[in-house]
Amino acid sequence: MGSPGFTQQLNKSKLETLSKAEDRCDIFDILKNRFLSFKSKYIENVEQFENLAKAQAPKFMVIACADSRVCPSNILGFQPGEAFVIRNVANLVPTFESGPSEVNAALEFAVNTLQVENILVIGHSCCGGIRALMSMEDDANGSFIHNWVIVGKNARKKTEAAASTLSFDDKCRHCEKESINHSLVNLLTYPWIEEKVANGKLYVHGGYYDFIKCSFEKWTLDYQGTKLEEDGRIAAKNKVLWC
């Protein structure tokens, strides 16, 4: 039967397991209630959802960070059917030449099949992925995070050149915005994206959500004014700040 001490330890372990199980139930009860709340909205708008079941025609493709604090549907109020969304660490876009990835698969589907009219890349304050990019060693061994955020290495180089005297936190904030523009440049390496942008059939935008100040900056890439051969710098237009 074991010693009294062993029995006490076993009982304590059972109680802890039961407590954890109850916590999990509480968590899923919350999700259940949220789903039922959504279902009531579904029933109120059943015709809209029946149409969405047949096809989707979103105006936006959104590329956002996987960070739990920056859900684009919460921030910008996208409703079902309005935005085709992909999220990854640090909202990065690899170049066309980088080869297959979930990002360019989503781009291909959104642009060529869904015929979206806008691509919006959203970055944010206090981004852990950007901090990883800014703090990693150039010769670091290849962790999954390192191998992904290295996509933004040119944004890091530009930040180091432009903000060398700033603190590390300020450098990260600078790079958070620089990496968005870097992703906009990378979008233009896809021939079928650049062609549509050049013909005015597709627009690419940058967005920056500061969740400390609760503000949102938006700008649009000016294709005619952008000279990619000059260090990949973009020209921006229609800059706005919502606060």
Active site residue 131: no
Active site residue 65: yes
Domain 57-242 fold: Beta-carbonic Anhydrase; Chain A (3.40.1050)
Would the annotation count 175 as a binding residue? no
φ and ψ at residue 61, rounded to 5 degrees = -110, 130
Would the annotation count 127 as a binding residue? yes
Chain segment 141-151, per-residue pLDDT in tens: 678 999 999 99
Give me the residue spans of the domains in the chain.
Answer: 26-55, 57-242
Average pLDDT score over residue span 112-127 = 98
Would the annotation count 243 as a binding residue? no
Chain segment 67-92, per-residue pLDDT in tens: 999 999 999 999 999 999 999 999 99
Chain centroid offset of residue 19 CA: 35
Active site residue 71: no
Task: Using pLDDT thresholds of 50, 70 and 90, give the confidence band for residue 1.
Answer: very low
